[in-house]
Amino acid sequence: MDYQKVKGTHDFIGEDAKYLSYIRETFFKVTSLFNYNEHVIPTMEYSEVFSRGVGEGSDVVRKEMYSFLDKGYRSVTLRPEFTAGIVRSVVENKLYATEVLPIKSSYLGQSFRYERPQAGRYREFYQGGVECIGVTGIDYDVEIIQLCLELLKRFHLDDKVSLSINYLGGIETRDKYTSALTQYFRGHIDEMCDDCKERITVNPLRILDCKEERDQKVAAKAPEITSYLSEKEKADYDAIKERLTLLGIEYHEDTHLVRGLDYYSGLVFEFKVPFEDNAVCGGGHYDNLVSELGGPELEGVGFSFGIERLIQFMKDNNIAPESKKIKSFYIMPLDKEISNYALRIAKLLRENDYIAEINYDGGKIASMFKKAERLDLDYGIIIGVDEANAKTVQLKDLHSQEQVTIPFDKLIEEISK
Ligand code: AMP
């Protein structure tokens, strides 16, 4: 039998693995500049965390969760996103009682959704994001947008994305808006896909982000939530827009932007690549998620980057992962007898933070050089019985082909020049 990866999953090999570790390192460095701390949560949660947190009516909960009964017959779900799990962790550990508010958590890891695999859409994918819990007002709404932009800047993508924003409002506003939407969509039910026909009763807001062309056509003329916002919500939304303008952050108002997760109740936003359907990053403000999951009335804001989309976006723009160049050495013992000498040299190099690889195969020197070239290493260290006896090495620069003899105890001094 030929084994294949599970549909919708993928391997990170070679360059892709380098992108992933570069993004991870940069991500935690930049989020820490905004005083976020990494918060590591389990990959799985009891299913209610997501059904309550993300919302029973969301597509994620209705159709996309990897849920199963464990051997104790408890329903467990592989996380489809991080926000609900982080909030569960904050509430369970009562961090709101012991930590300074807002609690600033950052994360990067895999999420799982049973979606139709296609470009930029996987069943197992990486998300990197933050949650800022215990906020009041709009300060952190704007600050996390600044954080997204700082991240995009580090990846040289800040001038290649567009920011869309909308404001969803609290329960009362959503109820009024939902009734208006239900009424509107009922009048167009014959023009809609089967899924959206069902969504009219389950969750009409979700019709606004259906990807089917005919539903998008109907949705384009649907009522806009901004007409239903309370005075306080309007004032908050205006304050956000004013601050973005003050900071010189360009944005576009998309009155039908709703995002796929039901907990958002204020600002929602997305960063998109022009002419692409899929957002590279999305987020927003939630008022009730902490109390929904058994905690006090605390508001939060957060965002999440899709790391595979970020990698693709970097590749499309010829942006390579940056890595600190460390000199690398290929140790070529010309005789089996001197393998101990080769081991000593490798140990010395590695202890001094240089990359060292030993050729254990023996054989002809020409084939050793070929291997060094394929491995893309910087220097060859050629040692024979004479060198081992004299405690020297032949150091060959594999780029310039220059070769010098160096005493073993001067090796580090010489190569650090
Ligand atoms: P969400 O958790 O739905 O707010 O999504 C946050 C980000 O995760 C999106 O902007 C995407 O970049 C990424 N994302 C969501 N679903 C997928 C998926 N199935 N495959 C790859 N990336 C995804």
pLDDT in tens, 222-243: 999 999 999 999 999 999 999 9
pLDDT at 275 over 80: no
Tell the burial category of 198 from Cβ atoms under 10 Å away from its Cβ (0-12, 13-18, 19+): middle
Neighbours of 20 (CB within 10 A): 18
Residue 309 near ligand 1, beta carbon < 6 Å: yes
Summarize pLDDT for 318-330 with one digit per residue, the tens: 999 988 889 999 9
pLDDT at 77: 98
Protein residue with least CA distance to atom 22, ligand 1: 306
- What local confidence, expressed as pLDDT, does residue 85 receive? 98
For residue 100, the CA-to-ligand 1 centroid distance in Å is: 30
Strand-pair category, 162-167 with 267-272: antiparallel
Residue 303 Cβ < 6 Å to ligand 1: no
- pLDDT at 1 > cutoff 90: no
What is the share, in percent, of the chain residues with pLDDT greater than 70?
Answer: 100
Average pLDDT over residues 251-276: 91
| pLDDT for 43 | 98
Q: Name the token pair of 242.
A: 């004013």
What pLDDT is attached to residue 243? 98
Instruction: Check pocket membership of 54 for ligand 1, CB cut-off 6 A.
Output: no
Residue with CA nearest ligand 1 atom 11: 306
pLDDT score, position 278: 84
Asked whether residue 97 carries a pLDDT value surpassing 90, the answer given is yes
> Residue 363 pLDDT > 90, yes or no?
no
Cα of 306 vs centre of ligand 1, distance in Å, is 5
Instruction: Dump pLDDT digits (tens) for 287-328.
Output: 999 999 999 999 999 999 999 999 999 999 999 998 888 999
Tell me, what's the pLDDT at 166? 97
**Cα 167 to Cα 169: distance, rounded to the nearest angstrom:** 6
CA-nearest residue, atom 18 of ligand 1 = 121
Classify burial at 281, counting beta carbons within 10 Å of its beta carbon; exposed 0-12, middle 13-18, buried 19 or more: buried
pLDDT > 90: what percent of the chain?
88
Query: Which residue in 127, 122, 116 sits closest to 10, CA to CA?
Result: 122
pLDDT band at 264; cut points 50, 70, 90 = very high
Q: pLDDT digit string (tens) for 38-94?
A: 999 999 999 999 999 998 888 899 899 999 999 999 999 999 999 999 999 999 999
- Give the per-residue SS3 of the chain: CCCCCCCCCCCCCCHHHHHHHHHHHHHHHHHHHCCCEECCCCCEEEHHHHHHHCCCCCHHHHHCCEEEECCCCCEEEECCCCHHHHHHHHHHCCHHHHCCCCEEEEEEEEEECCCCCECCECCEEEEEEEEEEEECCCHHHHHHHHHHHHHHHHCCCHHHCEEEEEECCCHHHHHHHHHHHHHHHHCCHHHCCHHHHHHHHHCHHHHHHCCCHHHHHHHHCCCCHHHHCCHHHHHHHHHHHHHHHHCCCCCEECCCCCCCCCCCCCEEEEEECCCCCCEEEEEEEECCHHHHCCCCCCEEEEEEEEHHHHHHHHHHCCCCCCCCCCCEEEEEECCHHHHHHHHHHHHHHHHCCCEEEECCCCCCHHHHHHHHHHCCCCEEEEECHHHHHHCEEEEEECCCCCEEEEEHHHHHHHHCC
Residue to mutate, 115, 262, 303, 304, ligand 1, most ligand atoms under 8 Å from C-beta: 304
pLDDT higher than threshold 90 for residue 203:
no
Q: Average pLDDT, whole number, for the chain?
A: 95
Q: Is the CB of 125 under 6 A from ligand 1?
A: yes
Q: Whose CA is nearest to atom 16 of ligand 1?
A: 121
Probe residue for ligand 1, chosen from 115, 276, 309 as the CB with the greatest number of ligand atoms within 8 Å: 309
What pLDDT, on the 0 to 100 scale, is given for residue 274?
Answer: 78
Ligand 1 lined by 161 (C-beta under 6 Å): no
pLDDT at 261: 86
The whole-angstrom separation of Cα 380 and Cα 398 is: 6
Ligand 1: which atom is nearest the Cα of residue 83?
Answer: 2
Closest atom of ligand 1 relative to the 121 alpha carbon: 20
Best substitution site from 269, 272, 278 to test ligand 1's pocket, by max atoms within 8 Å of Cβ? 278
Q: Taking residues 349-375, what's their average pLDDT?
A: 94
Can you tell me the mean pLDDT for 191-219?
Answer: 90
pLDDT at 353 over 80: yes
Whether residue 11 is predicted with pLDDT greater than 80 in this model: the reply is yes
Q: How far is the CA of 154 from the centre of ligand 1 (A)?
A: 20
